[in-house]
């Protein structure tokens, strides 16, 4: 089977509009999660912290020179990140439009960031808004397909908060099974009244900045952003710059509850174990875990227990949810980029706002930026519906 | 690529299908609604909270993956699973001005809800994924199943497609001009020369593995593309047939849906067939929806297994009575196209 190399990365989040800006902010321990929300009117604006990308949709449209009607913020964030990844990888237009180039994108809100518009369109029999074809999640990738004039396999995946980790996996599998030569993979999601109220109804939104893996954690912060990666096969590289190798991946289900993980953490345990097996690595080879670490009571406890169960003494780990919030369908892809930065610069970034370890586990995440040898990084993503995915990125 | 061993389907028609066009179920309020069974395998407490797409998906899958027949993973294609719950939750948000809301609809609103529920109910901790790419959601699930079997050739997987016509989805798609404006019987669907299709719904599930022995059918090849270019689709289909089975197609299962905007794609496909191939259609039975190709594949399996085609499906009946190679060509909104080659060859 072909080795899968990452030859391009692009990201936009609450802490930066580019890979370089995100990298600097991670090093500096910047928190982009603030009690500010001006994308749409909401009673939670100013009350709850959000990881908002501080650029309006109008400005994004202008910057990206997108003039079509009906393009949602979710798609705009995706185009912003995808442009970077493509430029970064140096793929030619011919490469991008080739039938051998796949596009696999994930998102969970699609055009539902326009909660009020959807409400109106779902209830009118008269004339709809410009967004009537843009609400579902697939509309994002249908737009991207048209925008970049792509001709390969196009897909949209939704496994809730692990969606874009699965998009990365699916792209890699297409390449290893001869369905594609290269794949552009990633995820995007924008803040939405819909998800804010949904997570709030579940009582898992933190009133203050989230504190992943802290004993006193009070829940998650929602964020937004997008990240895309260009995957190419080893045999097609021709001396171009390679950021990292995707060596392991695994998708499992916890099969316990629609919106929480089991105490045993079988799903997380099996996804981490499966990724190691595919990468043919022993547990002691993982230098760092980019944890899912949402800062909910349930996730951080179960993820910690599963790490202990698999690794006995888990390696260095941290969550970046304190920097950017939980970006849902974009999280797996954004954190893949962050994992690759750790490999590239041989460093790990601080898990923000941590004070005390969870009593039951005694585990403390990385608390300050530091240089260290990093050869293999595991990145975890877990979601509603019991969906668990782990990826392993390795240094080239 | 893969072998289909077990199938189950919930659609607007009774199974097995009658030969007589007079006996088929007709649309109610312009929609072809699925006939649901009593769902005995779903615990009543869970069933009560499920939306129709979730019920249909879970209810179609469970008879195939009981405890005696576990599968290694669950691969679902669904364009709009959870959308009904999604809009219900959204109504709460707007109507109660972001007040204290109940999370039930929100939890069931995620696109992966059917695969998630199936994992939960069948205690399946393996591969679990939901492809939601509209008119190619099921096709991507099928490609995924092929790849999972390449990695785990001794295992079986559940593969399925499911979608419902929820009231809100119907409204929005009406605004998009997807459906016929006039009232039309499905019995007259193909006589229609107007724009728009007849909305439908349903679920089809398959147990697939790499084992040829006692299989119902094999999926030999699949190709997908995105384009509104009629000539390009014809060219691609030509290449697909050349590569895979040029002269051997016995039967085309056409996704023709009574929409004059998509008809040219289907007539083009017919023009590429050998003279002695038969042509059948199924959208007058299940209506049009994003994952209707899953129902098309289910009909292919029925035809393969029984070597009989219900008379009311024929568009063109040739003298051939043995069906060994079936081409399923479908498109969604004239933009998302798929070619699937189904064969009895082992």
Nearest Cα residue to A318 out of A350, A342, A363: A350
- Report yes or no: B58 and B42 within 8 Å, Cβ to Cβ: yes
User: Rounded to the nearest 5 degrees, what angle is found at the Cα of A192, between the Cα atoms of A70 and A253?
Assistant: 110
The reported pTM is 0.97
pLDDT value for B247 = 61
Residues of A within 8 A of B227 (CB-CB) are 151
Query: CA A70 to CA A135: how far, in whole Å?
Result: 9
pLDDT value for B83 = 85
Give how far B192 is from chain A: nearest CA, Å: 24
Task: Assign residue B281 a region (left: φ > 0; alpha: ψ between -120 and 50; beta: otherwise).
Answer: beta
Query: CA B250 to CA A84: how far, in whole Å?
Result: 48
pLDDT value for B246 = 59
Name the pairing type of β-strands A225-233 and B325-332: unpaired
Determine the angle formed by the axes of helices A297-311 and A266-279, rounding to 10 degrees: 40
pLDDT value for B241 = 96
Q: Which residue of B has its CA nearest to A97?
A: B226
Q: How many secondary structure helices (H) and strands (E) does chain A include?
A: 12, 14
Query: CA B302 to CA A195: how far, in whole Å?
Result: 42
Task: Assign residue A90 a region (left: φ > 0; alpha: ψ between -120 and 50; beta: otherwise).
Answer: left
User: Rounded to the nearest 5 degrees, what angle is found at the Cα of A206, between the Cα atoms of A205 and A208?
Assistant: 145
Q: Which helix (H) or strand (E) holds B160?
A: strand B156-163
Nearest Cα residue to A332 out of A287, A303, A362, A292: A292
pLDDT value for A187 = 98
Question: Per residue in B220-262, pLDDT tens?
Answer: 999 999 999 999 999 999 999 999 975 689 999 999 999 999 9
Query: CA A372 to CA B176: how far, in whole Å?
Result: 55
Q: What share of chain A is helix, strand, coil (3-state, %, to 5)?
A: 35, 20, 40
pLDDT at B3 over 80: yes
Which residues sit opposite B252 in a β-bridge? B279, B327
Per-residue pLDDT of chain A (396 residues; tens, 9 = 90+): 899 999 999 999 999 999 999 999 999 999 999 999 999 999 999 999 999 999 999 999 999 999 999 999 999 999 999 999 999 999 999 999 999 999 999 999 998 888 888 888 888 777 888 888 888 999 999 999 999 999 999 999 999 999 999 999 999 999 999 999 999 999 999 999 999 999 999 999 999 999 999 999 999 999 999 999 999 999 999 999 999 999 999 999 999 999 999 999 999 999 999 999 999 999 999 999 999 999 999 999 999 999 999 999 999 999 999 999 999 999 999 999 999 999 999 999 999 999 999 999 999 999 999 999 999 999 999 999 999 999 999 999
Residue A396's CB is within 10 A of a number of other CB atoms, namely 15
Strand locations in chain A, DSSP E? 4-12, 50-51, 101-106, 154-157, 182-189, 222-223, 225-233, 244-253, 288-290, 316-318, 347-348, 370-371, 376-382, 387-394
pLDDT value for B37 = 95
pLDDT at B67 over 80: no
pLDDT value for A115 = 83
Give how far A384 is from chain B: nearest CA, Å: 8
Task: Assign residue B202 a region (left: φ > 0; alpha: ψ between -120 and 50; beta: otherwise).
Answer: left
What average pLDDT does the segment B50-79 reach? Answer: 93
Across the interface, whether the CB atoms of B90 and A128 are under 8 A apart is answered no
Query: How many alpha carbons lie under 13 Å from residue A146 in its C-beta half-sphere?
Result: 14
Q: Which residue of A has its CA nearest to B146?
A: A177
Query: CA A380 to CA A271: how far, in whole Å?
Result: 8
pLDDT value for B319 = 93
Query: CA A273 to CA A253: how far, in whole Å?
Result: 13
Give how far B139 is from chain A: nearest CA, Å: 9
Residues of A within 8 A of B223 (CB-CB) are none
- Best of A121, A159, A204 to substitute, by most chain B Cβ atoms within 10 angstroms, is A159
| Residue from the list B108, B113, B140 with its beta carbon closest to the beta carbon of A155 | B140
pLDDT at B90 over 80: yes
Across the interface, whether the CB atoms of B100 and A201 are under 8 A apart is answered yes
Across the interface, whether the CB atoms of B117 and A258 are under 8 A apart is answered yes
Q: Which residues of A330-362 are buried (b: 16+ CB within 10 A; e: fewer)?
A: bbbbbbbbbbbbbbbeebbbbbbbbeeebeebe
pLDDT at B345 over 90: no
pLDDT at B157 over 90: yes
What is the maximum span of chain A, computed from C-alpha positions, in angstroms? Answer: 62
CA B331, chain centre distance (Å): 12
Give how far A26 is from chain B: nearest CA, Å: 30
pLDDT value for A87 = 97
| Residue from the list B91, B100, B144 with its beta carbon closest to the beta carbon of A119 | B91
Taking chain B, what is the end-to-end CA distance rounded to the nearest angstrom? 10
Radius of gyration (C-alpha) of chain B in whole angstroms: 19
Instruction: Please give the full DSSP string across A203-230, using - where no structure is assigned.
Output: T-B-SSS--TTBTT---B-EE-EEEEEE
Q: Which residue of B has its CA nearest to A99?
A: B225
ipTM of this complex prediction, to 2 decimal places: 0.97
Name the pairing type of β-strands B217-226 and B336-343: antiparallel
pLDDT value for B19 = 82
- Report yes or no: B19 and B311 within 8 Å, Cβ to Cβ: yes
CB pairs under 8 A between A and B: 202
Query: CA A105 to CA A333: how far, in whole Å?
Result: 10
Question: Per residue in B308-325, pLDDT tens?
Answer: 999 999 999 999 999 999
Q: Where does residue A187 rank: exposed (0-12), middle (13-18), buried (19+ CB within 10 A)?
A: buried
Nearest Cα residue to A330 out of A179, A175, A188: A188
């Amino acid at each position: 089977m072909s080795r899968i190399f990452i030859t391009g990365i692009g990201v936009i989040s609450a802490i930066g509009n580019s890979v370089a800006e995100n990298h600097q902010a991670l090093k500096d321990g910047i928190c982009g999660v603030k009690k500010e929300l001006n994308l749409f009117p909401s009673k939670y604006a100013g009350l709850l912290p959000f990881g908002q990308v501080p650029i309006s949709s109008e400005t994004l449209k202008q910057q990206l020179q997108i003039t079509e009607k009906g393009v949602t913020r979710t798609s705009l964030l995706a185009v912003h990140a995808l442009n970077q990844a493509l430029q970064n990888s140096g793929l030619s237009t011919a490469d991008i439009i080739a039938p051998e180039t796949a596009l696999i994108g994930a998102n969970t809100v699609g055009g539902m960031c326009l909660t009020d518009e959807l409400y109106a369109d779902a209830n009118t029999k008269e004339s709809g808004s410009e967004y009537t074809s843009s609400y579902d999640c697939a509309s994002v990738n249908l737009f991207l397909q048209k925008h970049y004039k792509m001709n390969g396999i196009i897909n949209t995946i939704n496994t809730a908060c692990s969606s874009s980790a699965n998009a990365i996996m699916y792209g890699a599998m297409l390449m290893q099974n001869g369905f594609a030569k290269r794949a552009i993979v990633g995820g995007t999601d924008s803040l939405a009244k819909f998800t804010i109220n949904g997570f709030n109804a579940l009582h898992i939104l933190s009133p203050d900045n989230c504190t992943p893996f802290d004993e006193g954690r009070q829940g998650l912060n929602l964020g937004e952003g997008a990240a895309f990666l260009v995957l190419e096969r080893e045999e097609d590289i021709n001396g171009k710059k390679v950021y990292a190798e995707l060596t392991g991946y695994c998708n499992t289900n916890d099969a316990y509850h629609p919106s929480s993980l089991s105490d045993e953490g079988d799903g997380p345990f099996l996804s981490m174990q499966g990724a190691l097996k595919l990468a043919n690595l022993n547990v002691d080879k993982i230098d760092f875990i980019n944890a899912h670490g949402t800062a909910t009571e349930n996730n951080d406890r179960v993820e910690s227990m599963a790490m202990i169960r698999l690794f006995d003494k888990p390696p260095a780990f941290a969550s970046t949810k304190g920097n950017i919030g939980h970006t849902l369908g974009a999280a797996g892809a954004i954190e893949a980029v962050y994992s690759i930065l750790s490999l590239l610069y041989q460093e790990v970034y601080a898990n923000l706002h941590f004070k005390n370890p969870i009593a039951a586990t005694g585990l403390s995440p990385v608390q300050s930026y530091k240089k260290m040898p990093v050869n293999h990084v595991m990145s975890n993503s877990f979601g509603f519906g019991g969906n668990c995915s782990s990826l392993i990125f390795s240094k080239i | 690529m893969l072998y289909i061993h077990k199938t189950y389907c919930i659609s607007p028609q009774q199974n097995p299908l009658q030969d007589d066009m007079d006996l088929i179920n007709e649309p109610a309020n312009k929609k072809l609604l699925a006939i649901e069974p009593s769902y005995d395998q779903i615990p009543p407490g869970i069933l009560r909270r499920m939306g129709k797409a979730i019920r249909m998906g879970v209810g179609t899958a469970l008879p195939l993956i009981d405890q005696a027949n576990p599968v290694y993973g669950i691969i679902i294609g669904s364009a709009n699973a959870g959308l009904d719950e999604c809009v219900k939750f959204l109504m709460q948000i707007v109507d109660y001005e972001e007040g204290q809301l109940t999370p039930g609809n929100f939890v069931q609103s995620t696109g992966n809800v059917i695969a998630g529920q199936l994992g939960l109910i069948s205690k399946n901790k393996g591969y679990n994924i939901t492809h939601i790419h509209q008119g190619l959601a099921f096709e991507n699930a099928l490609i995924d199943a092929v790849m999972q079997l390449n990695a785990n050739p001794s295992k079986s997987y559940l593969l399925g497609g499911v979608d419902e016509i929820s009231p809100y989805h119907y409204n929005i798609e009406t605004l998009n001009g997807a459906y016929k404006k006039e009232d039309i019987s499905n019995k007259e669907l193909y006589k229609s020369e107007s724009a728009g299709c007849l909305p439908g719904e349903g679920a089809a599930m398959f147990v697939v593995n790499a084992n040829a022995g006692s299989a119902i059918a094999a999926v030999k090849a699949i190709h997908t593309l995105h384009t509104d270019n009629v000539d390009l689709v014809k060219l691609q289909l030509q290449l697909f047939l050349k590569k895979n089975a040029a002269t051997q197609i016995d039967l085309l299962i056409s996704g023709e849906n009574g929409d004059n905007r998509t008809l040219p794609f289907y007539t083009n496909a017919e023009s590429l067939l050998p003279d002695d191939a038969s042509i059948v259609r199924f959208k007058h039975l299940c209506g049009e929806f994003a994952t209707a190709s899953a129902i098309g594949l289910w009909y292919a399996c029925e035809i393969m297994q029984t070597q009989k085609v219900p008379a009311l499906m024929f568009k063109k009946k040739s003298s051939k009575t043995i069906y060994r190679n079936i081409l399923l060509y479908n498109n969604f909104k004239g933009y998302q196209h798929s070619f699937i080659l189904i064969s009895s060859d082992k």
